[in-house]
A and B are shown apart, each in its own frame.
Chain A
């Protein structure tokens, strides 16, 4: 056992990378749930985004187009969910689960001829002055641009929900759809837009896995990241800051347990592998134990004719 091989700086640098896909997907799902919709299809939208992004990036040679396609693919899948639940008034839980299964199958089909291909590498964002700080610069300021996009998105989602009128309307729709409708707000439209945003975010998170984190395409490569993102939203009490914290905690534990495995710690590998899930959920459960802060109308079908 050689714990000295674990370097804190490298650990932080790699946890930021490990956390980014869950962070982006969870932020999207959080917006969806704040609008009162429970979309359990995050896993399916993530893997669809992963394959769409991968295929387009390989074909065009541009990771940027890849990410754009990933967002589009995730949103397209989310649109199916949106039409089913908002227009056809289908059950949200069942539709979401179906979406996950559909996404897993669809992605396997689309990615068949891309197994073992290497994607173009995503550019690092070289931040001029900050990146030159010795030690800290390499750890915090020398990542690819999607890492910073995730952080920016956290801030943007927080500011949107907290400070803008559109954010207020979205929260109102999620809190009490009947009342929002009575005041003349378009509940279905707001929810559809939120669902599309959630799908795009899940797609981006998935593409980050296939284009940066891994980087290659394998079937079922999200391996439960979508479910973690879903759980994260609940345990983060539907707040952007806590989603960030939870995602980084989860990313940190993932990287740490990999390092511990590599260092040959005398704990069975299975326990180490489950530790990120256990620790993240435990911490967030304790933090969110005080009271139920779920949006009032979460998961309830809204029917305007009543």
Chain B
């Protein structure tokens, strides 16, 4: 199915689309990539059903949809990792059936993956060489990497080991790997989730420079505001089908979100609440890094009151994981560095802290917050044993545990066949709802969450944020560590940023601008502006 009509804005009650210049220009030409009627089914699941869309040279085309809507399947087909069951693709009018990524790359398709496809132990140049068809000698390649990185304002030392790089720098490696192939279509899967606002700006400048050169960009993101500022057109997928196309600039984020979900959902509501006593206080917390790629915590002090949400931002790798580990008790500090309701607990381990009502949800869902191959019931026991009395006299009360897991599933709308499913089998959003729900239902005094909505679809993210706000309204102190600034602005009463293991001064959220936040986060993290 091909759309003969010009793209319409999402809502019907608006005026006829104010077409952007980009669309008018590109519509007269043949599309770079035409996908027509592509279907892909897996046993029991239809990943893509009759999906059609056109991507034109020089446009940024957004692909929107919840987790599981079929976005990854679609881009994997374009990149040659999956073959469609039926339907076809055309590149510049000629049939395009890549059977492997190599063929796709040869045809000018580049892809920047959501979970970076990088090799930690190898150098930047080696990583780049692995993504190229016919790489030059390492020495020449290093020179070319430097040329391209200068040209697009993405500074990068080709000889550094990737394991030592920040998330933003790692993304640059992926982008440069694609750029060296002179791509005509660049697929970007959730590229901004790990970047500071300044880094996002620079990325967008790079992308605009590329579109000016005629490169088409297929842009996958959950961040609707970002899509509105960057993309010329958007295609929205729901349950494997195209449910609409729109011009993001002419549509509101809310309209697009509702098209993705297929129904309206409530935006998290904040209620005024009175702050109570100090629940958790961290005093001059310093810890050396736990491993070679870790960050040292340097003299961190803050206090959170009951009923308050404290937002902690910062670029990944600036001490977020370390701070969470120090608060949860996974890494112990000196006795007086952490106080819970006035008692020193810095020397206690996680179980003792949990017993006192300090609960945490780490960032990594699979492997840290939940054991991937264990069932949801078993995972519920892992942290809920004490506060929900799931273990008595050394024996696990499986009946009670199962009811606890079912309670989490019901209250947090976790979509799963039941409490016996393995944690691994759940989608990211559903598992995240489960691990957050597991802690929320243990009636914490203090809840610390790290990246609560990373890679989670809009509806699930809204539900999780609402749960955190409700918890605060009930007088729980909540600390939310996140790299999603919109989320922190929405949730938190006060905001602070981590930069190289130090915490900035805490500021009230309602008086902050994005620029100020960027400065608090430590500026552009080594980025220089592109000389366009």
Contacts and interface: CB of A to CB of B under 8 A. Distances in A.
Contact of A176 (B81, B101, B119): B119
Contacts of A171: 119, 121-122
Contacts of B129: 165, 168
A296 B120 CA distance: 8
B108 to A, nearest CB: 15
B101 A295 contact: no
Contacts of B117: 176, 178-179, 182-183
Interface of A: 165, 168-169, 171-172, 175-176, 178-180, 182-185, 291, 293, 295-296
Contacts of B120: 175-176, 296
Interface of B: 80-81, 100-102, 105, 113, 116-122, 126, 129-131, 135, 292
A182 B100 CA distance: 10
B121 A184 contact: no
Contacts of A295: 121
Nearest to A306: B424
Nearest to B98: A184
Given A175-B119, A183-B130, A165 B135 contact: yes
B121 A296 contact: yes
A291 B126 CA distance: 21
Nearest to A169: B130
Interface centre among A165, A178, A183, A295 (most CB of B within 10 A): A183
A194 to B, nearest CB: 16
A71 B526 CA distance: 53
Contacts of B113: 179, 182
A168 B138 CA distance: 11
Nearest to A295: B121
B126 A168 contact: yes
A293 B122 CA distance: 11
State the main secondary structure of chain B at its contact with A.
Answer: loop
Contact of A296 (B80, B119, B130, B131): B119
Given A165-B135, A168-B129, A176 B102 contact: no
13 contacts: A165-B135, A168-B129, A171-B121, A171-B122, A172-B122, A179-B116, A180-B130, A183-B117, A183-B130, A184-B80, A184-B81, A295-B121, A296-B121
A176 B162 CA distance: 13
Given A169-B130, A172-B130, A291-B292, A182 B101 contact: yes
A184 B102 contact: yes
Contact of A168 (B80, B101, B130): B130
A184 B135 contact: no
Contacts of B122: 168, 171-172, 175
Contacts of A180: 119, 130
Contacts of B80: 184
Contacts of A172: 119, 122, 126, 130
A169 B129 CA distance: 10
A96 to B, nearest CB: 22
Contacts of A296: 119-121
Contacts of A175: 119-122
A183 B118 contact: no
A184 B100 contact: yes
A293 B120 CA distance: 11
B110 to A, nearest CB: 11
A179 B118 contact: yes
Contacts of A185: 130
B119 A179 contact: yes
A20 B189 CA distance: 50
A85 B80 CA distance: 26
Nearest to A297: B119
A183 B131 contact: yes
A163 to B, nearest CB: 8
A169 B102 CA distance: 14
Contact of B81 (A169, A182, A291): A182
A178 B117 CA distance: 8
B344 to A, nearest CB: 34
A172 B126 CA distance: 9
Contacts of B131: 183
